[in-house]
Amino acid sequence: MVSSRPWLERYPSGVATTLTYPEESLVRPLIRAAESDPNRPATVFFGATASYGQLLEQVRRAAAGLSELGVRPGDRVAIMLPNCPQCVIAFYAVLWLGATVVMVNPLYTPRELRHQLADSGARVIVALDQVYPKVAEVWPDTALARAVVTAIAEYLPFPLRWLYPLRLRRQGQAVTVPSSPAVIRWADLLASEPAGDPAPVNARTDVALLQYTGGTTGVPKGAMLSHYNLIANCVQISAWLHRFQGRPFRVLAVLPFFHVYGLTTVLNYTIFGGGTMILVPRYDTGLVLKLIQRHRPHIFPGAPTMYVAILNDPRARQADLRSIEACVSGAAPLPLEVQTSFEELTGGRLVEGYGLTEASPVTHCNPVWGERKAGSIGLPWPDTDCRIVDPETGEDVPDGQPGELLVRGPQVMLGYWNNHAETAAALRDGWLHTGDIARMDEDGYFYIVDRKKDLIIAGGYNIYPREVEEVLYAHPAVKEAAVVGVPDPYRGETVKAFVVLKDGARATEDELIEHCRGQLAAYKVPRLVEFRDDLPKSLVGKVLRRVLLEEEQQRRQAAG
């Protein structure tokens, strides 16, 4: 059990160790912001600005429209949209009715979409017109009764509606959206008179968001996140970013809202704090650089790959990026070189944090203004307890030793949707078992060693890929690196590195192996290096080691 909390002594000035979490609907912060200053900008979308008053009006109209379609408290409504005004409006409109949001990746294949819709039991979906054919394909296998279809161009100001390609489909592919009672146009949904007061909710027990895990292994599960869970994480973010409290701030909304990282750290946090979101429907480095210069965001939550892409783009050196004050990096390890270079470029602070879908998602972060430690995910957030335990016995391990990270706090989920067995495995005695191997130093800073499932065992030795990747990243020619374990007839497994070199850089397999020999024990040094043009990644930039392993297996099977 938790006997001491050394991290509390390291909290930066201005951050309280315990906070107050309102037990209210997630729509209440939106209402407060609109009533406080209805003319304050809420969203900016390619030059089209919506105030908080306008946003609230459209949310109430969309809520009334969804109610006319039969949405009731407790119903699940899927949202299959990129970052755009309709996504923001639909999210709060569903919650206004006391219903549950199911966020869906617009790039899902029909197989992935079918599982998520069928498992959640969603009765209504709000979808981009370009992805409607996939919705129609899986419709018979789901509980869907109605669909609301929208085009991103509806909120693009002239003349961008003709110039900006979202590129969510192959060029030239036709999009057919039938006219039928089951398919409603977005404009028709908003034609309703505004809804009255929001539905009452039990903030602690009512599910606001059914967020499916990334599904990197096994079948994705729906994490049930309550209004209380999500508001608690907003309160914690606001406390950690305390310098933005009580002042206008702008957030670059490039992390996708259909991922819980973007949904909480951008959408919910910005509305909670009454800030302004600069909506970006698809990551593009050139576009991001232009938006930063034009709209001057103060906060840029992102993934390491986004910061790497900016650093490797020659246009970034000519751009004025000095408005950025704070960046929180998540979804993957943040290399020290990337952190240092990005801070030199922007003048802001870039820190690494940690979270997982089941915790709404953030549980740890390095202080933005205070002591931080390279390679660390930082300190547990206020009211978040942590333990490091032996993965086999469940007993606490000595400080400094690696073990499975367990967390407990107001942001931890209620459980998995319709999956008691998985809930019982993940939540035990109030503790969330993260599946991540971590260690805590004497100051209470935590370090992710690796995922339990990514552990490489070579000749009886445990090897954590992240440690090897950090060494590879330190080589001046390496842009990206991923390490996996591949079968070895003698050692059981051996280390293989997949490497992407920086533009114009050169390095050989022998050179990189020798570089690792100087910094790693012999059993950790890669025996194989494969150079790639890119690495497979999730939508938030996490390198998918699983895909690399699958490709390696297929290659070996083909070779006999």
Residue 298: pLDDT over 90: yes
Decide if 3 is inside a domain: no
Tell me the H-state helices in 85-213. 85-96, 110-120, 132-138, 160-163, 186-189
List the beta strands (DSSP E) in 129-231: 146-150, 183-185, 207-212, 222-226
Mean pLDDT over all residues of the chain? 91
pLDDT in tens, 54-93: 999 999 999 999 999 999 999 999 999 999 999 999 999 9
How many domains does the chain contain in total?
2
CA 492 to chain centre: 34
Residue 165: pLDDT over 50: no
Q: 193: which residues sit within 8 A by CB, 6+ positions away?
A: 61, 64
pLDDT score for 81 = 97
Decide if 133 is inside a domain: yes
Decide if 129 is inside a domain: yes
Task: Reply yes or no: is the peptide bond before residue 361 cis, omega within 30 of 0.
Answer: yes
329, β-bridge pairs: 302, 352
CB of 48 closer than 8 Å to CB of 157: yes
pLDDT score for 168 = 43
Output b/e per residue, 116-144; b: 16+ Cβ within 10 A. bbebbbbbbbbbbbbbbebbbebbeebeb
CATH code for the domain in which residue 71 is found = 3.40.50.980
Nearest to 356 by CA among 375, 324, 384: 384
Decide if 349 is inside a domain: no
Which residue segment(s) compose the domain that 132 sits in?
Answer: 50-160+178-200
Decide if 350 is inside a domain: no
Decide if 169 is inside a domain: no
451, β-bridge pairs: 436
Domain final residue, candidates 170, 200, 230: 200
pLDDT in tens, 123-140: 999 999 999 999 999 999
Decide if 92 is inside a domain: yes
CB of 418 closer than 8 Å to CB of 219: no
pLDDT score for 3 = 60
Q: 107: which residues sit within 8 A by CB, 6+ positions away?
A: 168, 539
Residue 169: pLDDT over 60: no
The C-alpha angle 130, 134, 137, rounded to 5 degrees, equals 140
CATH code for the domain in which residue 506 is found = 3.30.300.30
Decide if 506 is inside a domain: yes
**Per the structure block, which two tokens stand in for 89?**
């409006």
CB of 89 closer than 8 Å to CB of 60: no
Give the residue, 254 or 163, on which the prediction is more confident: 254
pLDDT in tens, 437-454: 999 999 999 998 877 677
The 3-class SS string of 360-414 reads: CCEEEECCCCCCCCCCCCEEECCCCEEEEECCCCCCECCCCCCEEEEEECCCCCC
Which amino acid is present at 149?
V
pLDDT score for 164 = 45
